[in-house]
Amino acid sequence: MQVPARVIRTDIVDEQYVGRPIRELPPPARDVEIVGVSAPVTARLAVHNRGKIYIVRIADIDWIETAGNYVRIHTAGTAHLYRDSLRNFESRLDAARFVRIHRSVIVNIDRVTHLEPSFRGEHVVTLRDRTRLTMTAPYRGRMEAVVGRF
């Protein structure tokens, strides 16, 4: 759900304007701040696959990877291609549930069973369906922000 934007007038500090209708306020200055605007978090996604349109719930996604100009969405043993960049797709996801673990992989944190240390700060992330993905060192901080320090 997208939060409606609120405009905060930072140029009005005089008490004479308190309680007056908005039409009586002076025109805004250039330092108007917009608060509460965020990218909408999507609940469902329409994915075209072999002549059919599938409705995929975001909560059902196990993990996502890049595939050229597409993202490959893995859900319960099936994979769907969706035309979008990984960066744009990531911005539409809930950051508390989906974590980027590699420059080309995003994982649903609810599907992770365990992490295994590898070499050079990398970890192997194992999902419920026994899929093994590599988490590279630059993305470790993102995982720690969600699950805590390890």
Cβ-Cβ contacts under 8 Å for 31 (sequence gap 6 or more) = 10, 11
CA gap 115, 135 in Å, rounded: 9
The arrangement of secondary structure in 44-147, i.e. its CATH architecture, is Beta Barrel (2.40)
The residue extents of the domains of the chain are 44-147
- So what's the pLDDT on residue 31? 47
**Residues 82-120: tens digit of each pLDDT:** 999 999 999 999 999 999 999 999 999 999 999 999 999
- So what's the pLDDT on residue 60? 96
DSSP for 110-136 reads GGEEEEEE-STT-EEEEETT--EEEEP
**Residues 31-82: tens digit of each pLDDT:** 444 454 455 667 899 998 888 999 999 999 999 999 999 999 999 989 999 9
CA distances from 126 to 37, 39, 77, 138 (A): 35, 29, 15, 18
Mean pLDDT throughout 18-26?
Answer: 59
CA gap 58, 62 in Å, rounded: 9
Output the average pLDDT for the chain.
83
